């Protein structure tokens, strides 16, 4: 993350802005996808909205920036969003001191896993990118004392918010390539 200083209305504020996919959380990715697929927004408005999502800089502050210097520099910083997500080949992710392992064995599914996937997928009109966070509890599991992945329980769905806010998209997006026919994902492809 890059820390930037922005002065707006005479007040200096510091913001962090990502410079690579591994700094984008699942929830941010999902919000970016909503913006990028909104045909009612101009490209310029999409840029403002995306910068707001990934940095927390208020939209009115972004809109008040000098276009040729401040705004253009921010756009250059997040230009990586126009490239395919760089996958991280990981077997697990650490969240709040606990390790969650990626379930990669799709040959052995429980009825609960299939039913949950089906409900989530249909509820989101078969659009994986609108339900990534809801699907993560199906794929991220702790290990039991005997080293096996914990069995799926519907109570695991309470982890959705934590995964949305704490998991980097580059750590888990490869799981969803399985369901999308193996296609790489970039925001440019969504337009």
Domain extents in the chain? 2-82, 92-183
> Do residues 164 and 26 touch, judged by C-beta distance below 8 A?
yes
pLDDT reported for residue 176: 65
> Do residues 164 and 90 touch, judged by C-beta distance below 8 A?
no
> Closest Cα to residue 76, out of 51, 56, 53, 58?
51
pLDDT reported for residue 177: 56
Nearest-angstrom CA–CA distance, 25 and 4: 19
pLDDT reported for residue 185: 47
State pTM to two decimals. Answer: 0.85
Q: What is the pLDDT of residues 65-95, one digit of tens each?
A: 989 988 999 999 999 998 888 777 788 889 9
Neighbours of 168 (CB within 10 A): 21
Mean pLDDT for each consecutive 10-residue tract of the chain (191 residues)? 88 93 94 92 94 96 91 92 82 91 82 88 82 89 92 90 93 66 47 47
Q: Could you say which DSSP state residue 97 is in?
A: T
Q: Where are the alpha helices (DSSP H) in 15-166?
A: 26-36, 43-55, 59-63, 72-77, 111-123, 132-139, 160-166
pLDDT reported for residue 4: 92
């Amino acid at each position: 993350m890059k820390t930037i200083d922005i002065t707006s209305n005479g007040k200096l504020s510091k913001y962090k802005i990502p410079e690579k996919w591994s700094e984008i959380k699942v929830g941010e990715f999902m919000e970016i996808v909503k913006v990028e697929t909104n045909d009612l927004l101009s490209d310029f408005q999409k840029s403002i909205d995306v910068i707001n999502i990934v940095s927390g800089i208020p939209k009115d502050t972004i809109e008040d920036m000098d276009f040729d210097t401040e705004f253009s520099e921010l756009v250059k910083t997040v230009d990586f969003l126009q490239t395919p997500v760089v996958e991280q080949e990981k077997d697990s992710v650490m969240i709040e001191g606990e390790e969650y392992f990626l379930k990669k064995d799709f040959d052995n599914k429980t009825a609960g896993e299939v039913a949950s996937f089906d409900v989530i997928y249909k509820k989101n009109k078969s659009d994986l990118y609108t339900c990534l966070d809801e699907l993560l509890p199906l794929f991220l599991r702790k290990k039991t004392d005997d080293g096996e992945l914990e069995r799926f329980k519907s109570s695991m769905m309470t982890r959705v918010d934590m995964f949305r806010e704490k998991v980097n998209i580059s750590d888990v997006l490869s799981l969803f390539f399985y369901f999308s026919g193996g296609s790489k994902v970039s925001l440019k492809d969504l337009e």
